Amino acid sequence: MKSCKKSFLLLLGVALLLVAVLTGCAKDVVDETTGELTLLDQMGREVLIEGEVERIVSLSPSNTEILFALGLNDKVVGVTDYCNYPPEAAEKDSVGGFDKPNIEVILTLEPDLVLAGSLHEEVVTRLEERDIPVLVMEPQTMEQIYEAIRTVGAAARVKEAAEAVVSEIEQQIDSVQEKLATLADDEKVSVYYELWYDPPMSIGNRSFIHEVITAASGNNIFADIDDNYPTVSPEAVAEKNPRVILYPDDHGTAEMVTEQFYSRPGWAEISALKEKRIYGVNSDLFSRPGPRVGQAIQEAATLFYPKLFDNQ
């Protein structure tokens, strides 16, 4: 009987851990004797953090934004060259590019916590060999953003600040969606997001930008593509006839981009061009899964349904 009970408890523990990984629910366990903290990151890895976190290096812009949103500015000692928000992030020491951060530089900063992304597998391995704890945070949905904020907050012992940040985002999104609740399904606009122009690339249903557009009650015209960033044909866009077109505003001036769109065969008849509903948006705001997600959704909704937000 004891053997059966022990086996059952072991299986139950494994099952609960599997559920936590599959549902993306980060759990933290504190050893009351030593103060050591064990966290589950978004790659399903258990990460042990010993003592207070005082020196943090971030290897991705979205993680950097989370750290600053949590008020951990003074503990951030290193970021990548692409960590440009908030502006104060640029004042931190650089550890190189996002895809290939410099491990030697990271080590000289003597971090007691590193926040990485899914692209940093080699970096994670090499840092862990030196007993440096690394949390891999790679949110792609709203719930995963909340989870990432809470996990980082737990690691830095600022859980209350994390809950406050999550609450603020939720309130911002709720405020937007209250206005959108009046829309009928046939009133929701179809949206084409041009991520790149040569060749044209858009967003499938696995991308974070798709999440933003959907939360703002827009219908992504390529939501049927089970991918992040598919290459699409100009003819396919024309056939789907979007009512709104969005593009990253660093692709050129509005005049230049609009002229390029009009030059494509069949595009002059697209509703978005005929109604002049072509908008350049901040690519960082729309593509980074972090604490500014509420702001991105609000901006998208305002562009899609300006009459609903006239009084803001």
- Tell me the CATH number at 33: 3.40.50.1980
Q: Which domain-ending residue is among 96, 127, 157? A: 157
SS3 state of residue 117: coil
The answer on 231 and 114 residing in a single domain is no
What's the average model confidence in pLDDT over 152-175? 97
What's the average model confidence in pLDDT over 78-85? 97
Predicted local confidence at residue 310, as pLDDT: 85
Contacts of 66 (CB under 8 A, 6+ apart): 115, 137, 148, 149, 152, 290, 291
Quick one: CA dihedral 248, 249, 250, 255, positive or negative? Answer: positive
Q: What's the rounded Cα separation, in Å, for the pair 114 and 131?
A: 11
Identify the residue whose tokens are 């990432």: 148
In terms of phi and psi (left: phi > 0; alpha: psi -120 to 50; beta: otherwise), the region of 190 is beta
Q: What is the pTM assigned to this prediction? A: 0.88
The answer on 305 and 176 residing in a single domain is yes
Position 15 pLDDT exceeds 50:
no
Per-residue CA distances from 17 to 5, 51, 165, 205, 272 (Å): 18, 24, 27, 28, 48
Predicted local confidence at residue 277, as pLDDT: 97
Position 138 pLDDT exceeds 80:
yes
Question: Hey, what's the torsion of the CAs at 144, 221, 198, 263, to 10 degrees?
Answer: -150
| Paired tokens of 221 | 């015209």
Position 202 pLDDT exceeds 90:
yes
The answer on 268 and 184 residing in a single domain is yes
Our count of domains for the chain comes to 2
Does residue 181 lie within any of the structural domains? yes
The answer on 181 and 74 residing in a single domain is no
Contacts of 183 (CB under 8 A, 6+ apart): 217, 305, 308
Q: What's the rounded Cα separation, in Å, for the pair 40 and 264?
A: 48
237 burial (CB, 10 Å; 0-12 / 13-18 / 19+) is buried
Position 241 pLDDT exceeds 60:
yes
Q: What's the rounded Cα separation, in Å, for the pair 177 and 216?
A: 7
How does pLDDT run across 177-195, given as a tens digit for each residue?
999 999 999 999 999 999 9
H or E element in which residue 300 lies: helix 293-304
The answer on 224 and 138 residing in a single domain is no
How does pLDDT run across 43-67, given as a tens digit for each residue?
999 999 998 999 999 999 999 999 9
Report angle CA 94, 96, 99 to the nearest 5 degrees. Answer: 140
Position 7 pLDDT exceeds 60:
no
Q: What's the rounded Cα separation, in Å, for the pair 205 and 220?
A: 8
Position 24 pLDDT exceeds 50:
no
Position 114 pLDDT exceeds 60:
yes
The answer on 122 and 145 residing in a single domain is yes
Q: Name the residue among 92, 116, 91 with its Cα closest to residue 103.
A: 116
- pLDDT more than 90, % of the chain: 85
The answer on 251 and 207 residing in a single domain is yes
| Paired tokens of 208 | 């974070």
Does residue 133 lie within any of the structural domains? yes
Q: Name the residue among 104, 106, 98 with its Cα closest to residue 133.
A: 106
Q: Which domain does 92 fall in, by range?
A: 24-157
Q: What's the rounded Cα separation, in Å, for the pair 90 and 61?
A: 11
Contacts of 263 (CB under 8 A, 6+ apart): none
The answer on 32 and 105 residing in a single domain is yes
How does pLDDT run across 272-283, given as a tens digit for each residue?
999 999 999 999
The answer on 180 and 151 residing in a single domain is no
